[in-house]
Amino acid sequence: MSKPKVAFICVHNSCRSQIAEALCRHLAKDIFESYSAGTELKDNINPDAVRLMKQLYGIDMEKTQRPKLLEELPPVDVVVTMGCNVECPYLPCKHREDWGLDDPTGKGDEEFIKVISTIETKIKELIERLKP
């Protein structure tokens, strides 16, 4: 049986959704296939997110990830929106939720670490709720 596909969606796919994709791959690679995408494209992943994910988890997001548009996603089972305060486009899925996370872009490391920690907690909760 194939693993459920989880998509983390945010407007620019450059920070929170990228962190969620990386952490989900790190924490739940045996349970989910993880993706991220956005409705608009940035040139790169947020450098502060890249730096802190390397520092905290040893994950180099720039080696395995890049900003992507929704059209690049395969069909997914779970859609998680990050809480961008905009109407996210509809993607067909079996389960959808919004995590309501503030964007740490332009803020200090403390804010980034708080968001990263919240994402880690929410991924662990998602694993518990959706694992077979």
Quick: pLDDT tens for 34-70. 999 998 889 999 999 999 999 999 999 999 999 999 9
What is the pLDDT, as a whole number, of residue 92?
A: 85
pLDDT band for 131, please (50, 70, 90 cuts): confident
Burial of 14 (0-12, 13-18, 19+ CB in 10 A): buried
Residue 122: per-residue pLDDT = 97
Token readout for 54 is: 């390397």
Number of structural domains the chain divides into: 1
User: Is 1's pLDDT higher than 70?
Assistant: no
Which pLDDT belongs to residue 9?
93
pLDDT tens, 65-118?
999 999 999 999 999 999 866 666 678 899 999 999 999 999 999 999 999 999
Q: What is the extent of the structural domain holding 32?
A: 5-130
Output the domain CATH number for residue 119.
3.40.50.2300
**pLDDT given at position 84:** 67
pTM of the full structure: 0.94
pLDDT for residue 132 is more than 90? no
SS (H, E, C) the chain: CCCCEEEEECCCCCCHHHHHHHHHHHHHCCCCEEEEEECCCCCCCCHHHHHHHHHHHCCCHHHHCCCCEHHHCCCCCEEEECCCCCCCCCCCCCEEEECCCCCCCCCCHHHHHHHHHHHHHHHHHHHHHHCC
pLDDT exceeds 70 at position 12: yes
